[in-house]
Amino acid sequence: MKDKTKINLDKVKELKNKHTGLENKYKLVSELMDSIPDVIYFKDTQGRLIMVNQAHAKGLGLKPEGVVGKTDFDIFPKERAEKMAKDDMYVITTGKPMIDKIERATRADGIDNYVSTTKIPRYDNKGRVIGLIGITRDITHRIQFEHLREEKALISKKLEVLEELNKMKSEFVSVVSHEMRTPLAIIKDIIMLLIDGIVGPIKEKQKELLMKAKDNIARLNHIIEELLDISRIESGKIKMHYSLINLNDLLMDSSAFFKKLAEEKGIDLGYNLPRSQINIFIDAERINQVIANLINNAIKFTEQNGKINVEVKIFETKVRVGIIDTGIGITKQDLPKIFNKFVQLSTRSQAERKGIGLGLSIAKELVEKNGGEIWVESELGVGSKFYFTLHRFYTDKVLSKDIRDEINNLLEKNIPVYLINLLVINYTEFKKRLNIEPRELFEDLRAVIEETFKRFCYAGRKELQIILQDYKEGELGILFSKAKEEESAKFCNLVKDRIKKYFTKNRLENVFINLGVLSYPSKFHAIITQQILANVSIKKICIGSEIRRFPRIPYRIDIEVLIPENKVESCRTVDISEGGVCFENGCRLKTDAQIQTKLKFPKEKEPVSIRARVAWIKNINIEELPKGSAKYRLGLEFINLKNRDKKIISKFIKSISHQNSINS
């Protein structure tokens, strides 16, 4: 058998013989020169080109033979040739190379570029310089990239400075606004003393003027509050205090006030609310502020005999609040900027506007901070429809009276309190799936929590105490005191993990566990509907099966939407459920508009025609998107579904949910 190394050595030898003869060496070098994109040339001491590669000749629009014998003065403009000759002279007279000289140049086709040139002297046998080898490389892309990098660094630096300035501006606005509050409050008190006649009787005319002053102080106060809000939002200092609220109660609380305000202007303000409770998990005060701003605007921009309707619509996972007026409306051009800061439109005089154009931008921030979206539809001279959505939160009850009393007792003694509220959502359905008695389950869960609590206390906080445990149908409340905010959050997460483990161990599947934080507002801002005078934090752990009638599955299928004027828009869905679809598109449809759609389900031969209603619209941040892409995300709710179509959708959803569960 032949030795393997021997074979390899023979091969190397054979290759060497084949390629290293003088002729072959020349061939290899010449091939290298001609295949390389860099310009390579040899010059004699007089600057005459004695050999050039293909790239050089091609750049000049000549054959290599046509270039030989020429100098740079024959090829390039005088100024450039002089510069090149100077470099040549340096290399030839000093015998030193010139390496990577970067300069701007103009190619033979007139295009400006950047080149890097290296010139190396050539010597004869006696060590005398006989010319040079030059290599010139087009480095335009590299330089452009470097410029871009420099520009990026510069922009980042500028951005940092702007951010710093913006921060300073926010701080300045915040400090000035704060400082203005106190003197204004004093002026208001003084005016009230005068109006009430406490410092002596005043005439009717004087009272009238003082009332005007009082109104303007209220206006100024409102502006200060808006400036403070915007600086809090900009500096990220705005804090949300979420609580579980019945939206109907929230709207009704202020309805009498707004009805009276509208009536004074001869406007009919009506409320169209659903009968059922709408539990939402929001910062009630802040959402109240949004509602107040939208209703105030509607009143401000609606003429006498106009109408305003405040409506609430419940969707699968969202609720939608609409404030619809028959007022002056907004022009098409103004609509896209309406939620920007300091925007006031030209339709009204400054005196009539009485604001600084911050209300809607604050409303947008607040709605988004509460997990919702806000948008407007309007027609000049016809009216405006402002809509915003909020997430629904499923629970039947607010806190029971016993727990509320206990909390208030503790708070009267100034003891900080935390409450963990464990709640089974969709209890009736959940009970059916249990293989043990619900009471037993809750005993177990109570044990899980107690045990977690004990461990937590051993870990350092011995003085923590469980004060109260309260069990009712599907709900377990545990009250403990003296804990710090971070501690209670940590504890809640621990409890959540342990409960999850408990369900896995007991083979109870599809259990939905959610942890919400209910941080109640201070004593002075207690929410009337919940009757709690407490500065208490409440953690709510929700377990059970989520009541989503139709779970949404992220899935892309083709959809055609027939938009007004009989135009057809083709796009793809973002998600799909048995109740509707969500998709992104460039054209704005109207909320509640009924439209025809065609959905192309992969396994169906023909697209399925379905009627749908626009349930919600969300603006997509256009700055983040390339030009011409979708501007809106829309939620469609299927209506009048035929049985046949229902079956197709249901079959499709089942197949993709199966796929999804396999993938995950």
Binding site for ligand ADP (CB under 6 A): 293, 297-298, 301, 325, 327-330, 338, 343-345, 347, 353, 355-360, 384
Please state the closest distance from residue 345 (CB atom) to ligand ADP, in A: 3
* Alpha-carbon span 660 to 551, nearest angstrom: 12
Q: Which is nearer to ligand ADP, 5 or 346 (CB)?
A: 346
Please state the closest distance from residue 374 (CB atom) to ligand ADP, in A: 12
Q: Which is nearer to ligand ADP, 354 or 613 (CB)?
A: 354
Using Cβ positions, the residue closest to ligand ADP within the complex turns out to be: 355
Sheet holding 465-472, edge to edge: 465-472, 475-481, 417-425, 537-544, 514-519
The β-bridge partners of 636 are: 581, 614
Please state the closest distance from residue 337 (CB atom) to ligand ADP, in A: 9
Residue 257 CB: number of other CB atoms within 10 A? 11
Please state the closest distance from residue 613 (CB atom) to ligand ADP, in A: 23
Q: Which is nearer to ligand ADP, 327 or 580 (CB)?
A: 327
* Alpha-carbon span 231 to 340, nearest angstrom: 15
| Cβ atoms of residues 539 and 516 within 8 Å | yes
Q: Which is nearer to ligand ADP, 386 or 456 (CB)?
A: 386
| Cβ atoms of residues 321 and 387 within 8 Å | yes
Instruction: Map residue 495 onto helix, strand or coil.
Output: helix
Say if residue 267 is exposed, middle or buried (CB neighbours under 10 Å; 0-12, 13-18, 19+): buried
* Alpha-carbon span 66 to 17, nearest angstrom: 34
Please state the closest distance from residue 285 (CB atom) to ligand ADP, in A: 18
What does R_g of the chain's alpha carbons equal in angstroms?
38
* Alpha-carbon span 306 to 297, nearest angstrom: 13
* Alpha-carbon span 593 to 507, nearest angstrom: 46
Query: What Cα–Cα distance (Å) separates residue 498 from each residue in 63, 436, 475?
Result: 81, 19, 17
Q: Which is nearer to ligand ADP, 40 or 363 (CB)?
A: 363
Tokens of 423: 């709640």
Please state the closest distance from residue 270 (CB atom) to ligand ADP, in A: 16
Q: Which is nearer to ligand ADP, 220 or 356 (CB)?
A: 356
The β-bridge partners of 562 are: 568, 596
Please state the closest distance from residue 521 (CB atom) to ligand ADP, in A: 24
Q: Which is nearer to ligand ADP, 355 or 607 (CB)?
A: 355
| Cβ atoms of residues 575 and 652 within 8 Å | no
Please state the closest distance from residue 359 (CB atom) to ligand ADP, in A: 3
N-term to C-term CA, the chain: 56
Q: Which is nearer to ligand ADP, 271 or 512 (CB)?
A: 271
- CA-angle at 284, arms to 280 and 286, nearest 5°: 125
Please state the closest distance from residue 514 (CB atom) to ligand ADP, in A: 34
Q: Which is nearer to ligand ADP, 358 or 411 (CB)?
A: 358
